[in-house]
A and B are shown apart, each in its own frame.
Chain A
Amino acid sequence: MESIQAILNNPYVFAALMALAPLLWILPYALFAIWFERKVSAHMQDRLGPMRTGGWHGWSQSIADLVKLLLKEDLIPAKSKHGLFMLAPYVVFVGSYAAYAVIPFTSAYVGSEINVGIFYFVAVSSLVVVGILMGAWSSNNKWSLFGAMRSAAQIVSYEIPGTLAILAVVMVVGSLSLQDIVRAQEGWFWNWFVFGKFPFLFIAFLIYFLCSLAEVNRTPFDIPEAESELVAGYHTEYSGMRFAMFYLAEYANMFAVSAVAVTLFFGGWQSPFGTFLSGPAWGVFWFLSKGMGFIFLQMWLRWTLPRLRVDQLMYVNWKVLMPFAFVNIIFVGLWMMIAQ
């Protein structure tokens, strides 16, 4: 026992353990979410989805898929840039995993409690675009490159209104630290920022949510991997384990942006009922279930809406979200000035 204590007291070992903790959630969550998405999509289309693998409603379908992908041959196209091609999936995953460093899973656990948390999140989640471009360019495939160009254009432009929406919350709280933002929403659920400064923070939430959809390439903003026109977009040439890495990164990213939406607007790990069922352990429960709620919302939207055209995508961003985000910031700022 004491030796374990001694090992844990080593700051490097402790840091490594804290850094790996989110993986404990991401890996089972990704398997579950892939299965869940198939079930949700199937039932929304009056189908059943996977029903055989593992017995009860095909619960182990994604495990079987994962095993299959791991056993597959690692294909590398002859005319690709081998080094970059092999590296790209890991860069994408690193980009989405690095974002987990500042996500406050509960009051007691956050990977790194830095005072510029949300700024770090916005900055590091753009790293994904580098990985996507890297993979697409090096695979020497026109569909891949098209997908990645679209992805880059989309992520870079949607980050601006998204960040402006985040800025509204930061102005209300007066801190960039995600733990501070969660603590500012203490109490019952009507203290959550989605209901605060009504309707300005609600509009900010809508803008942030739309931009987060664009950032993780989900429908209606999934033109980077539009399967009906681009085969599979930026990961057309990937197979086996590297393809699985792209998939894992996509689902990790989905949860990361949902987690930030929960943190900024839905009270993070706070219980909806004040002090009832609150505490570090319940905090994990509330945080993860709110996050999964957003995952479901993303799936729901995906199986409802058709894909936008590129010009529509740019119209929504520059002509709708951008002015609304700016006006929103001005009103929130005025409110804060008058309230003082």
Chain B
Amino acid sequence: MRDYFRNIYQSIWTVLVGMSITWRHLFVPAVTIQYPKQRRPIPERARNRLYVEIDDCIGCDQCSNACPVDCISIETLKALPGEDLGTTSGGNKKRLWVTKFDIDIAKCCFCGLCVPPCPTECIWMTDVFEYSEYDRKSLLYSFSAMTVEEVAEKKRKADEWAKEEAARKAAAAAAKAAAPAPAPVVPSDLAGRTPSTGS
């Protein structure tokens, strides 16, 4: 009989204790972070989307070589003698036109190995991590500052220059061939033992 009443007393008491706990929690600030509006700070060295500051890129191809999944593809053209490409923000002289700098971010494994080799520190991991797309092709990022027409123009000029250069070389070679070749100066004591190298 005593157990019976103690049981009732305890059940009412524990219900009241439980209710006071839930009542207190009614006014505790929620732990929810309403994601797109509020967000947690990203760790300082987090690795997310890659970014290339193309003005500083010298087209050395080291990031592409470092990439374990080959998601960076770079094409360059040599600057012609008359052209001045300016310098990077660090003062290095740029010698190559970067006609293509594509990163397929869908392949990227976020290892960050492309970042340390860069001599001009122009490629780094940003804190942007929301870049989903409806089309996979949209994940191929082109960083080159040159338009397709500019690239075609540069290629044409480079080809012309190469032809001119070849013509000039051929002309120089022809001129050289026309001039009488000077007699080779060979040390007399070796003359009998070395075969003729004929340069």
Give the B-binding residues of A (Cβ under 8 A).
40, 42-48, 51, 300-301, 303-305, 320
Contacts and interface: CB of A to CB of B under 8 A. Distances in A.
B26 A305 contact: no
A206 to B, nearest CB: 9
Contacts of B34: 48, 51
Contacts of B22: 44, 300, 303-304
A46 B19 contact: no
Contacts of B23: 300
B13 to A, nearest CB: 13
Contacts of B28: 46
A86 to B, nearest CB: 39
20 contacts: A42-B30, A43-B26, A43-B30, A44-B22, A44-B26, A46-B29, A46-B31, A47-B30, A47-B32, A48-B30, A48-B32, A48-B34, A51-B34, A301-B15, A301-B19, A303-B22, A304-B18, A304-B19, A304-B21, A304-B22
A45 B8 contact: no
Nearest to A315: B7
Contacts of A320: 8
A40 B21 contact: no
B25 interface: yes
Taking each of B21, B23, B26, B28, which has the highest tally of chain A beta carbons within 10 Å of its own beta carbon? B26
Contacts of A45: 25
Given A43-B25, A45-B25, A46-B25, A300 B30 contact: no
A44 B25 contact: yes
A46 B18 CA distance: 15
Nearest to A41: B22
B2 to A, nearest CB: 15
Given A46-B30, A304-B18, A320-B8, 9 more contacts: A40-B26, A48-B30, A48-B32, A48-B34, A51-B34, A303-B22, A304-B15, A304-B19, A305-B15
Interface string B23-50: 1011111111010000000000000000
Contacts of B15: 301, 304-305
Nearest to A51: B34
A45 B22 CA distance: 8
Nearest to A220: B15
A35 B58 CA distance: 60
Contacts of A300: 19, 22-23
Contacts of A42: 30
A43 B24 CA distance: 10
A276 to B, nearest CB: 29
A44 B26 CA distance: 4
B145 to A, nearest CB: 41
A104 to B, nearest CB: 29
A47 B22 CA distance: 12
A300 B25 CA distance: 11
Contacts of A51: 34
A305 B17 CA distance: 11
B11 to A, nearest CB: 9
Contacts of A303: 22
Contacts of B21: 304
Nearest to B25: A44
A40 B22 CA distance: 10
Those 10 A-B pairs whose CB atoms lie nearest each other, nearest first: A48-B32, A304-B18, A304-B22, A48-B30, A44-B22, A43-B26, A304-B19, A46-B31, A44-B25, A46-B28
Taking each of A46, A47, A300, A304, which has the highest tally of chain B beta carbons within 10 Å of its own beta carbon? A304
A42 B22 CA distance: 11
Nearest to A297: B19
B4 to A, nearest CB: 8
Contacts of B30: 42-43, 46-48
B3 to A, nearest CB: 12
B26 A47 contact: no
A305 B18 contact: yes
Nearest to A324: B8
Nearest to B21: A304
Contacts of A48: 30, 32, 34
Nearest to B32: A48
A313 B111 CA distance: 59
Contact of A47 (B8, B18, B19, B31): B31
Nearest to B16: A304
A334 to B, nearest CB: 21
A46 B8 CA distance: 30
A56 to B, nearest CB: 14
A40 B25 CA distance: 10
